Chains A and B, each alone.
Chain A
Amino acid sequence: MTKTLRTLSRPTALLFSLLCAITALVLAAPARAEIQLNVNRGDVQPLPVAVPAFGGGQVGADIAEVIGANLQRSGLFRPLDPASFVEKNLTAAVQPRFADWKTINAQGLVNGQVTVEGGKLRVDFRLWDVFAEQQLLGLQFTSSPENWRRVAHKISDAVYERLTGEKGYFDTRVVFVAESGGRGKTIKRLAIMDQDGANPSYLTTGDSIVMTPRFSSNSQEITYMSLRPDSSTIYLFNLETARRESLGTFQGMVFAPRFSPDGGKVAFSVERGGNSDIFVMNLSSRTSTRLTSDPAIDTSASFSPDGSKIVFNSDRGGSPQLYMMGADGSGQRRISGGGGRYTTPVWSPTGEFIAFTKQTGGEFHIGVMRPDGSDERLLTTSYLDEGPTWAPNGRVLMFSRETPGGPPKLWSVDVTGRILQPMPYPGAGSDPAWSPLLN
């Protein structure tokens, strides 16, 4: 695991990298050698950045605030307090007074201007390397005025990518199960929101129990399971048209659906006579193929990003563990090796890791391992953590966490385990599923 930050223009790169390694020394005297930063290290110090209110009134201030909050939550950046800014009312049309920003030790500076003209919103922004006194990025976005949050997310992604060398994940949405009503009489509704908790809305009414929603790679379609007193159904739901259709009628219970990376198939479990096996349905031909036939529980299938393999959960060895097979069901073998119970495997979008839920000694963990089962690392520990989902860049995981007797809440943790925090959504929620980057 040696993802590195893109090399910045020299002085910033120096500062950034050294800040991460030896903060105190860097702050005192920048060194000369260029060091590459490993963002997966546990001692990364967030980069100080300034995101002053964009010009153009309230919407300009709002956009800057959303950008700052996104960068802050990533854990890789530390937006500075606007009260400390020396240069005020900076517009995108002029070069910043770098000395003013050096004074407060802003390494990066994001400034911009919003213009509303003819019913269109135009946002110009620039990213500056303060100590190199250079522009790193200058972009213009045009959209409709009510779409200003998405513009802020796209700017956040551009800044993140320019400074880390990795794709961002801010212009994304999360589908999840919103819970209300208290334990034992919980109402579960499918809901969707932006990744920062904004714009939450319900997709189902709560007349049946819904669970385990998952995004298709096109971000417009989800699949989920609905449970009624006498049956279960897997649905495909189009977020643009609100069209919902059943995957089909099966003998036995169906559950644990998940799209293939190309969106053309859905893997799912069918239970008959107490035995759960994994099937895959081709969505265009509507034919399904059985992939496992072991009398044990086989469930929670998740495709590799190239679609060639499936990781799944089985207790065929006596306890729930993670197994790997070809997408045609061939070559089934166990990959999890440690003690404890492993469930909910999810392949990362980069293919690098499998995330999972692990139970040991009365506690739950979210963890990651390589697809061959090596390099297992536990990222969280609590009374009940469950059901990880990956941000599209493979850098952050979201999951649900419960305290004894409490409602589930959505949390996130980065892949190093360093940046653990509740999601900015105040309600009770479970089974989050992160969308790919929106188009």
Chain B
Amino acid sequence: MVRSVNGNTVFRLALVGVAAASLAACASKPKPTYPTQTPPATQAQPPRTELPPAQPGVSQQPMGALPGSTQDFVVNVGDRVYFDTDSHDVREDAKPLLDAQSSWLRRYGSVAVRIEGNADERGTREYNLALGARRANSVRDYLVSHGVTADRISTISFGKEQPLDAGSGEESWQKNRNARTAIVSGAR
């Protein structure tokens, strides 16, 4: 927890946490809640005889993901980017997430990752293994070019063997064309 004050991500996380709490909207994330302040009664008015309005309770829950943890990476950074059909080029819309991955990995220098390339079912097994490997390496190259040292990154391809979405159709296939950055060691 000592480290928790020295990161933009963590700050952002805290703000998000506060916002989430005040909106009381997010059920899945830990949500610290805070007492609502009621204005003090004016001195001029005598106490009324009716009971004061009920005080809201104070609940306590753990803070959000421990910074530098796998959960922090998955929830607050994002572990997966997606690709176009039969392509291994990093898409424009994937770059902000990979930028966030590289800054997170630069901050937590002891973390080692394995990038797992995946392909949709609209290809044959061996070709898709090779295609998934290309995707994994595209992500690896991007992270390296953004300052993550290469020896912290390994790659593997699962081809079409581990679909994220078991459905059939473009929506499912799009989800299954991805590269996942999996933390293998060094996380808090």
Contacts and interface: CB of A to CB of B under 8 A. Distances in A.
A21 B119 CA distance: 47
Residue among B116, B124, B167 with the highest chain A CB neighbour number at 10 A: B124
B121 A343 contact: no
A274 B88 CA distance: 10
Contacts of A183: 163, 166
Nearest to A362: B122
A274 B134 contact: yes
B129 interface: yes
Contacts of B134: 274, 297
Interface string B144-169: 00000000001111110111111111
B116 to A, nearest CB: 8
B111 interface: no
Nearest to B129: A255
A403 B155 CA distance: 31
Q: For chain B, what secondary structure do more than half of its interface residues adopt (helix, strand, loop), or is it mixed?
A: mixed
Interface in B3-22: none
A214 to B, nearest CB: 11
A313 B127 contact: yes
B114 A212 contact: no
A253 B156 contact: yes
A253 B154 contact: no
Nearest to A297: B130
B138 interface: yes
A227 B86 CA distance: 22
Interface in A282-341: 297, 299-300, 313, 315, 319-320, 341
B118 to A, nearest CB: 12
Contacts, number: 97
B168 A231 contact: no
A142 interface: no
Given A230-B114, A276-B130, A357 B166 contact: no
Nearest to B134: A274
Given A343-B127, A387-B124, A227 B158 contact: yes
A403 to B, nearest CB: 9
Given A211-B161, A404-B168, A405-B167, A274 B156 contact: no
A383 B168 CA distance: 10
Nearest to A404: B168
Contacts of B136: 274
A132 interface: no
A76 interface: no
B166 A405 contact: yes
A119 B167 CA distance: 54
A437 B89 CA distance: 46
A386 interface: yes
B114 to A, nearest CB: 6
A343 B124 contact: yes
A189 to B, nearest CB: 14
Contacts of B163: 183-184
A344 interface: yes
A297 B127 contact: yes
Given A232-B156, A271-B130, A299-B130, A431 B125 contact: yes
Contact of B125 (A319, A320, A386): A386
Given A274-B137, A276-B130, A297-B131, A387 B166 contact: no
B164 to A, nearest CB: 8
A343 B156 contact: no
Given A387-B124, A405-B167, 17 more contacts: A184-B162, A209-B158, A211-B125, A230-B154, A230-B156, A230-B184, A253-B157, A255-B130, A271-B130, A274-B136, A297-B127, A300-B124, A320-B127, A341-B123, A386-B125, A405-B168, A430-B125
24 contacts: A183-B163, A188-B161, A209-B161, A227-B159, A231-B156, A253-B129, A253-B157, A256-B126, A271-B133, A273-B137, A274-B136, A274-B141, A297-B127, A297-B131, A299-B129, A319-B86, A320-B127, A343-B123, A344-B125, A357-B124, A359-B123, A384-B121, A404-B169, A405-B166
Interface of A: 182-184, 186, 188, 209, 211-212, 227, 229-232, 253, 255-256, 269, 271, 273-274, 276, 297, 299-300, 313, 315, 319-320, 341, 343-344, 357, 359, 383-384, 386-387, 402, 404-405, 430-431
Interface of B: 86, 88, 114, 116, 121-127, 129-131, 133-134, 136-138, 141, 154-159, 161-169, 184
- Sorted nearest first, the 7 A-B pairs with minimum C-beta distance are A274-B137, A404-B168, A183-B166, A184-B166, A276-B130, A297-B130, A343-B124
